[in-house]
Structure 1
Amino acid sequence: MFDTIYVGTSGLLTHAKGLRVVGDNLANVNTPGFKSAQLQFSDLFEQGSGLYSQKQENHGATGTGVTSLGSRINFSAGLDQTTGNALDLSIQGNGFYVIKRGDALLYTRSGDFRFDADGILVNSAGDHVLGMDASGKLADISLAGYERSAPVATTTVKFSGNLTAPTATATTTDAGTATATVIDAGGASHTLNLAFKSSATGSYTVTVTDGTTAVGSGTIKFAAGAPVAGSDSITVNYAPADTTPFDVKLDFSGNVTSLASSTLLTAAQDGYVPGTRKDQSIEADGTVKIFYSNGKDAKGQRLVLANFGSEDDLEQVGGSAFRLRGEDGVFYGYAGDGSFGSLLAGHREGSNVDLASEFSNLILMQRGYQASSHVISTANDMIQQLFDMKGNR
């Protein structure tokens, strides 16, 4: 009878552990990246030996209760959640983010990210999200060095519009004017004035000035109203005050015509003024993209993902993070490469807890605990009857 009490006690203890696992799952139903677990039950047996009585009956294994083999983690993908935050990420496929908590290297599927006050990419728990540096080593993802967009001097100005076609009688004719904005190496803007004079041969002399200061001149040619290849641009050397001189190509090879009516020319140039960091996002391949106030953008570091020979080698450490047992069996790579999934910005992976299954398990754990308690109470009643028999003799 006493061993029956031990059997019932093992049921109480194990089902209590199971209830704790179910309760933990339900408590984390809204935790991003949380992976549910299920307690693994195992029966206990005591191996018998020898022969029983004179009937030569083989007395084999005898059940002695139940125990647990620990909990098994369910690594299936959680519910996709839209957040609207350009830095939040959801992994579409295989892979884990690599994070650093103190000196510990951990892995997670929770992609709620932000840049902290030091410009380091972290998750909601403050863990550093890692990428790879130029030498292939794991490193923090930082905005250092991306605060400003350096200016770029104009190299080419492209024109569109119409120049007045030359007349057959005049030797030279005013064919129109235009202005062009150019940017020097220091990021300052300047306005150049262009004046066009045509001849009966279809040639145009282009004179470029900065205010009253001559900058340069050249000749372009048209045939049947279209620019002639090889004679459709001029290059001037521009030297603003206190700035290093630079060459500017004035290109008329595109949407420029030479017709009877005259339309002022418009221009687009390829230089830009300096800018400051305005915003940032993360691309589908894990690359950080920085946006500047001058309309330009730049690519920063790239998040690294991890994969494993077996996910059973991972153990939970809290904060929706996992630690690898041992040092082998981890593979690093980038989103979209090989077996790694892509990233979806503005989304995050929620918990994979299935409420219907967990409520069913909750009932099973409660019933198992209840049944074990009945075993103990029944065994206790039978022992009490034995004691009562002894007292009545």
Structure 2
Amino acid sequence: MMRSLFTAVSGLKNHQTRMDVIGNNIANVNTTGYKSSRVTFADTLSQTLSGASSSNGNVGGVDAKQVGLGMSVSSIDTNFTHGSASSTGNNTDLAIDTDDGLFVVKNGDNTYYTRNGDFTLDDDGSLVMNGSGLHVQGWNATDGSVNPSGNTQNLKIDMNSTMQPKPTSTVTSSGNLSADDTAETIKNIKLTLANGTTQTVSSTDTTTAYKIGDNYTYTDSSGASQTSAISGITLTLSDGTNSTTSSGVYGSSYTLGGSTYPSYATTATVYDSLGTAHSIPVSFQRTSGTGDTWLASVAPGTYGTLTIPSGVTQTMTFDGSTGKLTSGGSMTVGMTVPYPNGATQNQQISIDFSNLTQYSGENNASATGDGYAAGFYKDMSIGQDGVITISYTNGQKQTGGQIAIATFNNPAGLEKEGGSLYSQSNNSGTARVGTFTAQGVTVTPGALEMSNVDISNEFSDMIVTQRGFQANSKIITVSDEMLQTLINMKQS
């Protein structure tokens, strides 16, 4: 009878432990990255009243007679299945999408692991765990390159960083030159001058070239000689249409009769070695009638602070049946950039035409350079692979670092340290630290992992635990009544 009392006490005590675990789970139902726990029970040593005997020729075997002495907590297991991701919109928040994987954080020489991806940048740009200030571990980039084979470091973003400009070396022209265009010659030139007057070029002048910005000398109505800069040019073409330019976009010289007017022109933005942007014109003109030969040109002239000392041309030939370019795929342009300090930068730029086509339809050729201006830190973001990308004001992006991830043979064996932190234990195995890709881990940026506590399951376990506790308390009550009956028998 005394055994039943102690047995019931063990049941009360251990069901209370189970209730403690359930209570902790429910308390952490909204804790970021929390992993629920469960309690399993096992019976304890049994008292053997008589041992088992085997069968013989006369009688069969007899089982042992044993009385159990109660129960104990067999294990308290951590459930490491991942929780749902909750979007936050914060570009430093991360939610791990897989069951495996923990972020690595440090406090001095002490290393911890966590599923809580609530990270932020502190005052000096260090990536830290929000609320605790523990440093997130990974590999910092050098000149946009990360070496994940080395030791992990405290991740830090240089918010005062700059990206040096890249001078343009190649301009890529793509799009279509209309197969429907025809080559047109110039029949008439009318000049608009800076002094507000207009002058029509003599029909007999077929050799003088005219260009935006050049000075033009003429005789006014009184017979006096006047000089003024050309601010606009109106061209009457051989098909009777007029075309006016006032920006120097074509940048070429025009003469009567023999000058073929560009069918189409576009501009390319190029950058010098100090990151200043310049626009240079690229013109395209059919060389004769409706043939398959075009002349690409960049005319000499001054465009802003940039000077092209010598114009260049390139003859391009297309296949008339397929519209594909067959020859004349590139040309090189030299430009001179005078800087305010008197220095001059000479720069060679290659223009690639290999992506141009000659199909029926409109002209839509474009020209895009590969350079960019100097850039200053603007923002940062973290990708699904844990790579930190820094955005600069010049529109360029560069790798700023990479977050490390740790996996364990037995993550349930990690010891909880509070604050959503875990530490390595003898039964967790040694941490394998590497990149997200190498560890097979992905994350959802701009989100946090929710607790994996299942409320309905916890409430069900709570009812079962409560009933188990009540049943064990009843054993104590009944055992007490039986003992009281024995005492009453003696007293009577």
TM-score (norm 2): 0.66
* Matches for 1:1-393 after TM superposition, within 5 Å: 1-48=1-48, 60-93=65-98, 94-126=100-132, 127-132=134-139, 134=147, 136-144=150-158, 147-157=161-171, 167=185, 174=254, 175=261, 181-190=269-278, 206-209=299-302, 215-222=308-315, 229=328, 232-242=331-341, 245-249=345-349, 251=351, 253=353, 268-326=368-426, 328-337=429-438, 340-392=440-492
Q: Deviations over 1:261-304 (max 9, x none)?
A: xx999754333222222222111211011112221111121112
Contact 1:333 1:340 (C-alpha < 8 Å) held by counterparts: no
Q: Quick check: 327-336 or 373-382, which moved more?
A: 327-336
Residue 145 of structure 1: CA displacement? 7.0
Aligned residues: 382
Q: Deviations over 1:99-141 (max 9, x none)?
A: 2245332222232322222212223343322114645112122
**3-state DSSP class of the match of 2:3?**
helix
Going from structure 1 to structure 2, the CA distance change for 1:383 and 1:206 (only over 3 Å counts) comes to same
Distance 2:467 2:169 in 1: 80
Contact 1:95 1:305 (C-alpha < 8 Å) held by counterparts: yes
Q: Quick check: 124-133 or 302-311, which moved more?
A: 124-133
**3-state DSSP class of the match of 1:245?**
strand
Going from structure 1 to structure 2, the CA distance change for 1:363 and 1:272 (only over 3 Å counts) comes to same
Contact 1:235 1:248 (C-alpha < 8 Å) held by counterparts: yes
Structure 2 counterpart of 1:207, one-letter code: P
Structure 2 residue aligned with 1:54? none
**3-state DSSP class of the match of 1:220?**
strand
Structure 1 counterpart of 2:167, one-letter code: A
Residue 18 of structure 1: CA displacement? 0.6
Residue 359 of structure 1: CA displacement? 0.7
Contact 2:384 2:444 (C-alpha < 8 Å) held by counterparts: yes
Going from structure 1 to structure 2, the CA distance change for 1:26 and 1:252 (only over 3 Å counts) comes to closer
Structure 2 counterpart of 1:281, one-letter code: S
Residue 250 of structure 1: CA displacement? 5.8
In structure 1, list runs of 5 or more residues that go unmatched. 52-56
Q: Deviations over 1:208-231 (max 9, x none)?
A: 325698542143133568896266
Contact 1:153 1:186 (C-alpha < 8 Å) held by counterparts: yes
Structure 2 counterpart of 1:34, one-letter code: Y
**3-state DSSP class of the match of 1:232?**
strand
State the identity %: 32
Going from structure 1 to structure 2, the CA distance change for 1:227 and 1:207 (only over 3 Å counts) comes to farther
Structure 2 counterpart of 1:331, one-letter code: R
Contact 1:198 1:205 (C-alpha < 8 Å) held by counterparts: no
Distance 1:228 1:199 in 2: 15
Distance 2:317 2:48 in 1: 109
Residue 206 of structure 1: CA displacement? 2.8
Going from structure 1 to structure 2, the CA distance change for 1:294 and 1:362 (only over 3 Å counts) comes to same
Alignment RMSD (CA, Å): 4.0
Contact 2:106 2:112 (C-alpha < 8 Å) held by counterparts: yes
Structure 1 counterpart of 2:6, one-letter code: Y
**3-state DSSP class of the match of 1:289?**
strand
Residue 251 of structure 1: CA displacement? 2.3
Residue 20 of structure 1: CA displacement? 0.4
Going from structure 1 to structure 2, the CA distance change for 1:46 and 1:379 (only over 3 Å counts) comes to same
TM-score (norm 1): 0.81
Contact 1:82 1:347 (C-alpha < 8 Å) held by counterparts: yes
Contact 1:196 1:207 (C-alpha < 8 Å) held by counterparts: no
Distance 2:66 2:297 in 1: 107
Residue 143 of structure 1: CA displacement? 0.5
Structure 1 residue aligned with 2:220? none
Structure 2 counterpart of 1:130, one-letter code: Q
Going from structure 1 to structure 2, the CA distance change for 1:49 and 1:244 (only over 3 Å counts) comes to farther
Going from structure 1 to structure 2, the CA distance change for 1:244 and 1:233 (only over 3 Å counts) comes to closer
Distance 2:423 2:316 in 1: 73
Distance 1:264 1:377 in 2: 94
Q: Deviations over 1:63-92 (max 9, x none)?
A: 111111341111112123233333322323
Structure 2 counterpart of 1:186, one-letter code: L
Going from structure 1 to structure 2, the CA distance change for 1:180 and 1:208 (only over 3 Å counts) comes to farther
Going from structure 1 to structure 2, the CA distance change for 1:149 and 1:73 (only over 3 Å counts) comes to same
Distance 1:113 1:247 in 2: 45
Going from structure 1 to structure 2, the CA distance change for 1:110 and 1:265 (only over 3 Å counts) comes to closer
Going from structure 1 to structure 2, the CA distance change for 1:266 and 1:50 (only over 3 Å counts) comes to closer
Going from structure 1 to structure 2, the CA distance change for 1:324 and 1:191 (only over 3 Å counts) comes to same
**3-state DSSP class of the match of 2:353?**
coil
Structure 2 counterpart of 1:370, one-letter code: Q
